[in-house]
Amino acid sequence: MAPENDRLNSRAGDPFSPIAGHYDTIMEHVNYGRWSHIAESLASLLPRPLMHLDAACGTGLLMEHLRHPDWHSTGIDLSAAMLEVAKRRRGLANLARADLCALPFRETFHLITCLFDSMNFLLHEDHICTALLSLRQALLPDGILYFDMVTHKMIADHFNNESWTERHGNFRSSWRSTYNQKKHICETRVRVNTGRISVTQERVYAVEFLCDAIQSAGLRLLAMRNAYTWGAVNRQSPRIDFVAVKQGNDAYDTRFQEVEQRIKRDLKRPKR
């Protein structure tokens, strides 16, 4: 997913343009099926036809997974290059270039997904707060927001001042990461063959801050779970899933518990 990082974009244009055409191949290892399964499970709580927004949709891979006759999905992203790939490669039509912090929607969607650590690309706490408020405003009453964030554990294990090269058939990608633990910001540089370098930055946020920001935005947190097991979050959790509801009442809770148990059970099943 392409970030809504205004500082990077103003400095270097679209940071994803050097790799957009190769992005899907570079990210072949990513389990979009997990995200789509959880989104579909959450959607079972919502009416049909379902209005869905994939915020920071990138090349549209998640939208492709979530193609259903009774879903109406819209994708937004700040990267024009990534949106062009989504349109050309997947034939997606309902796409728009937009900023997470200033979505052009009001009470439009039953379900909003914002995944692949897209929120981590917002580098300031006030940007997180503004984005959550913008996402809330785009939700219909009782609508659900599903987003994820990577943690210090993920960055320290995989992007802690490392350099490496990956081969992808007829091209290679070269990576270099720099993690400033004091600022909690990781900068990642990616080059395909000898092309231009894509430079992006992500910030790790404290769980306590995120929970407070969700509440301050007028959302009620339904769940905060280890993204890979849907068990409790701890210091060893590399990625955290957040599920929040707009103006949700207690009637949601019992139904959500049933959905949560199903998600947890399905995540335990071995991959085929």
Cα 66 from chain centre:
15
Q: Mind listing the domains of the chain with CATH numbers?
A: 6-151+204-268 (3.40.50.150)
At 23, list the tokens.
């992005």
**Which alpha helices (H) appear in 75-189, and where do they start and end?**
80-90, 125-138, 152-158
Choose between 7 and 84: higher pLDDT. 84
The Cβ of residue 68 has, within 10 Å, a number of other Cβ atoms equal to 14
3-state secondary structure of 238: coil
Question: How far is residue 41's CA from residue 259's CA, in Å, rounded to a whole number?
Answer: 6
Confidence bin at 269 (pLDDT 50/70/90): confident
Confidence bin at 6 (pLDDT 50/70/90): very low
pLDDT in tens, 155-198: 999 999 999 999 999 999 999 999 999 999 999 999 999 999 99
pLDDT in tens, 104-145: 999 999 999 999 999 999 999 999 999 999 999 999 999 999
Question: How far is residue 14's CA from residue 81's CA, in Å, rounded to a whole number?
Answer: 7
Cα 157 from chain centre:
20
Pair type for strands 219-226 and 139-150: unpaired
At 36, list the tokens.
């789509």
**Which alpha helices (H) appear in 139-181, and where do they start and end?**
152-158
- Give yes or no for a contact between 204 and 120, defined as CB atoms under 8 angstroms apart: yes
Question: How far is residue 21's CA from residue 198's CA, in Å, rounded to a whole number?
Answer: 12
The continuous run of DSSP H or E covering 37 comes out as helix 32-43
pLDDT in tens, 205-263: 999 999 999 999 999 999 999 999 999 999 999 999 999 999 866 778 889 999 999 99
Block residue for tokens 């034939």: 91
Please provide the average confidence, as pLDDT, over all residues in the chain: 94
CB-based contacts of 224, cutoff 8 Å, min separation 6:
207, 211, 233, 240, 241, 242, 243
Block residue for tokens 């997974």: 65
What does the pLDDT read at residue 2? Answer: 55
Question: How far is residue 220's CA from residue 204's CA, in Å, rounded to a whole number?
Answer: 22
